[in-house]
Chains A and B, each alone.
Chain A
Amino acid sequence: MPVLTVKNLAKSYGRLVALEGLDLTVEAGQVFGLLGPNGSGKTTLLGMLLDVLHPSAGTFTWFEGAEASQVRRRIGAFLETPNFYPYLDADQNLSLVAAIKRVSNPPLDSLLELVQLKDRRRSPFRTYSLGMKQRLALAACLVGDPEVLILDEPTNGLDPQGMVEVRHIIQKIAAQGKTIILASHILDEVEKICSHVAIIKKGKLLAVGAIGSILSDQPTVEVGAADFEKLHQFLSSSSLVKKITRDDNRFVLELEPGRSPGDLNTLAFANGIVLDHLVMKRQSLEAEFLEITRK
């Protein structure tokens, strides 16, 4: 069931086009990554989906056109930085969010436990570190047990420890079967957390689909042998190899479709070459991203 359907959504600020006629569909249960460099239009897209920005053109539908007033309470979201009342503590801020969402008796204890803020629940928000603020924002998103979470750069500005903590929390939430829409410019983050991804650059949607379909099916293979010249001659003439790149005393190969590293190893041995190094690598999202955004 589609949770979100976006059709030809666009946003312009005068002559500046922030988002150009974007179409995408997010299905229930997906962890959907919006990937793009800073300023690519990810936050603008989320801002429109959350009604804080007005679209210049196009439409979007949540939950197959459910009533607008109900839709928002089924979504938990934060955009960019966590925004709370600085003089209110975690309990007060979360109670306010619960009141907005009309959730009576919100499980504040378990939410604060999940985001590891229980021991600082009585401290004013302004005294929190950035990591704690991000974690409180995550807890706020979870008030009312929403079906969809929208997280915009949830690890922005965090130290490595904070990033890992926030990612773990997101993965825990995703494991509960919730739909998550996550905007990030951090490729590694999207690759680790998301099941699907849309790549956006300068307001244009460049690619969309499951992470597996965005990543090339053909693995990259790194090979090496004692007789480096002989290996080079063999690879250059082999019909199994599509592309060869030299990397110090190794070759990085892209195989022809349908060919496996096993085929290569067998053929090399048949030609008198013993490979002393054979590593299969999937192409990283980073490489795909760079390739897609270069086009």
Chain B
Amino acid sequence: MNPLHLLKLEWMKYAPSGTFRVFAALYVGLFSLVVFLARSAGQNMTFTSNGEITHPLNGLFIYPHDWELLACIGSWMNAFVLGSLGVFMITLEFSNRTLRQSVIFGLTRLEVAVAKLVWAIALALAATGIYMILAWGGEVMDGSGLGLPPAGCVLGFFLQALGYLLLGVLAGLVIRQTALAFLAYLAYVLFLETVLRWIFYFSVAKTRLLLFLPDQVLGALTPMPVPESVSSMVNSSPFTRPLSLMEAAVGACLYLVLFALLFSRRIVKADL
């Protein structure tokens, strides 16, 4: 089993797809647009206090906070665009019965599963590359020079991108029908997990473990850079104190392994 060969197969399948290209364009286009709007609006935003004009958000666009802000903006792209791409990646195969055809043509089931995982890793790397280009691009435009990417931001972004992709792939694998799988995935990341978490929180147990649900963990990998005062307000309750980057990274890694195992097991064991 050669992962690069499997990656080539996935590229041959998806690169000519119009839907894939739309997703790719949406990711790059929306990400760039939101970053551009955030920079123009944020840097021009002024606040007058005692006759003194200040730029309260300017700090967000200065290294290293610019990387945190971009990662936070990118997290929306990861959750919606990349996750949906994950759904599409698998439902495309089921709706055209090409997953089973790949096995008929000669791939082993394990190769089929590994091919998808390798492709997801490649897409997550590409997304991280786009994030880095946008961050560096902003720094170049500001004339502040290229800063060394903060490792936590870059690693967190990559894990998050991969996590949402695999969450989408799992939704597609379980539901198989494109429209239903999209709806289920989007409902989960938009509100379902949050609603379930609060129901559990108020009616069963007030535990911080609820912050370790998949969407919470993945979201915590790219925290919003907020002023100290706001963050201490949020951290006042031990149950709602956000996950640290380390906690989120460990949780995300565990979820990634779990998603990959569930996916591979399903492909290997199920009738296709």
Residues of A within 8 A of B (CB): 47, 50-54, 68-69, 72-73, 75, 77-79, 81, 83-88, 92, 95-97, 99-102, 140
Contacts and interface: CB of A to CB of B under 8 A. Distances in A.
27 contacts: A50-B103, A51-B108, A53-B272, A54-B271, A69-B108, A72-B106, A72-B107, A73-B106, A77-B104, A77-B105, A78-B101, A81-B97, A83-B100, A85-B13, A85-B96, A85-B98, A86-B96, A87-B16, A92-B16, A95-B12, A96-B13, A97-B105, A99-B12, A100-B9, A100-B105, A101-B105, A102-B5
Contacts of B97: 81, 83
Interface string B75-111: 0000000000000000010001110111111111100
A181 B115 CA distance: 30
Contacts of A95: 12
B241 interface: no
Contacts of A73: 106
Nearest to B2: A102
A99 B8 contact: yes
Contacts, number: 69
B107 A100 contact: yes
A188 to B, nearest CB: 27
A52 B17 CA distance: 25
B17 to A, nearest CB: 5
Given A52-B271, A96-B12, A100-B9, A83 B106 contact: no
Given A81-B97, A83-B96, A92-B12, A101 B271 contact: no
B18 interface: yes
A67 to B, nearest CB: 12
Contacts of A86: 96
Interface string B39-70: 00000000000000000000000000000000
